[in-house]
Structure 1
Amino acid sequence: MPQRRASTKGFTRTSSLLTGRIRTASESRGFAQSRLLTQWTEIAGEDIAAMSRPVEIGYARGGMGATLTLLTTGAHAPVLEMEKEKVRARVNAVYGYNAIARIRITQTAATGFDEGRAVFGPGKAAPVAAADSEIRRAAVETTRPVEDDGLREALARLGENILNRTNR
C-alpha cells in the first residue's frame, strides 16, 4: 500500500499533481517550457493566438537555436509571417534567453482539422443539460443535514451531476 504524505493543508493542488505529466508530454514535442502551450494567448497576444497555435520546437544538431513551428490557416499565414520577429521576441522572453532562433509557419486549409474547422481560439462552452426536477430534489434532500450553506449547495450540485450521468 502506498505511503501517505503528511500534509498540513490536507489537500494537494491539482496543478501540482499534473505538473510532471504535463512537462513529460510537452517535452516530447520539444517544449521545454510547457507555459508556451498552456499560456499561448498571454505570450503571443490575443490577435496572434487567434490565428496560430504552437505545434513543435525542433532543435538543430549543433544546438545553435531552435525552430518554433506554428500552425495557422492559409489566409492568416502572410500576416503571421510579418509578425514573426515580434512572436520570436515574446517567446524568448518566456525562456529568458535567445532559445528560439527561427519560426516556421505551417499552414492548414480552412477545412483542415476537426471536420472542417481549424480552431485556434478557446472553444465554446458545452451546453448545460437541464436537470430533472426529481433528481434535483433527491440531491437537495440528501444534502439537507449539512450545516454550511456553501458546502451544502456544492454537494447538491455534485450529487445532481452524478445522478444525471448515471441515468443516461
Structure 2
Amino acid sequence: MRGFEPAFGLMREQLRTAGEARGFAVTRLLTHWSEVVGAEIAAQCRPVKIGYARDGFGATLTLLTTGASAPILQMQLPAIRDKVNACYGYNAISRISLTQTAPTGFAEGQAHFSPAPKPEPPAPDPATRAEAQAVAEGCTDAGLKAALEQLAENVLSKHAKSAANRKA
C-alpha cells in the first residue's frame, strides 16, 4: 500500500486468527457486538465462542452473562439468534447457550460488559472560583475569558489538592 493505512489493516490477520480459533468466521460479530444485537443486550452479555457440529451445519453460539441477566436473555434468545444470523447473512447459528458468571466476574472482571460511568469532578469551592474569576478579570473577549477562568480554576484546584496531600 501507498500512503496511510487504516489501523485495523495492521492487525486484521491477528484478529482473524484469534477469532477463528474461537470459531468466529465473521470477526464483525466480535468487534461490533453492540451494533449487531443492540446496546441493551450487549450491555448484558458478550460472545465467547462458536462451536460447530460435526457435519458443519447448525453452530452453537456461547454467550457470557451474569446470573441476574440470564433469565432476561433466555427470553430474548430467538431475537438474538436472528440478529446474529443477519450478521452472517445466512442461518449459521442454530442454538445459543448462556454461560453465567459472578457479577464481579472471574479473571480480572470480565463480566463487566459496559464501562462504569466516569464520576463527575467535584465542584470547586467558592474561594477558588472567585480567585479564578479575578485572574481573568481584565479580558474583554467572552470566550477567552471563560477559557482563562477554567484554566485558572483547574490550576488552582490542582495546587490546592497537592498542598492538602503534603499536609497529610
Q: When the two structures are superposed, what TM-score results if normalisation uses the length of structure 1? A: 0.65
Secondary structure (helix, strand or coil) at the match of 1:17 reads helix
Give identity over the alignment, percent: 58
1:21 maps to what in 2?
14
Letter paired with 1:40 = W
1:53 paired to 2:46: yes
Decide whether the 8 Å contact of 1:52 with 1:71 is kept in 2. yes
Corresponding residue number in structure 2 for 1:64: 57
Instruction: Output the CA distance in 2 between the equivalents of 1:31 and 1:123.
Output: 27
1:84–1:103 CA contact under 8 A, matched in 2:
yes
Look up the equivalent residue of 2:9 and give its one-letter code: S
* Candidates 82, 104, 113, aligned match of 2:75: 82
SS in 2 for 1:113: coil
Alignment CA distance shift 1:117-1:91 (3 Å): closer
Could you tell me which runs of 5 or more consecutive residues in structure 1 were left unpaired when the two chains were aligned. 126-168
Count of equivalent residues: 118
Question: Does the CA contact (< 8 Å) of 1:110 and 1:117 recur in 2?
Answer: no
Larger-gyration structure (1/2): 2
| Cα distance change, pair 120–68 in 1 and its aligned pair in 2 (3 A) | same
Once superposed, what is the RMSD of the aligned Cα atoms? Answer: 1.8
Deviations along 1:63-110, whole A, 9 cap, x unmatched? 121000000000000000000000000000010000000000000011
> Any stretches of 5+ residues in structure 2 without a counterpart?
119-168
| Superposition deviation, residue 113 in structure 1 | 2.1
Q: Which whole-Å CA distance do the structure 1 matches of 2:21 and 2:110 have between them?
A: 26
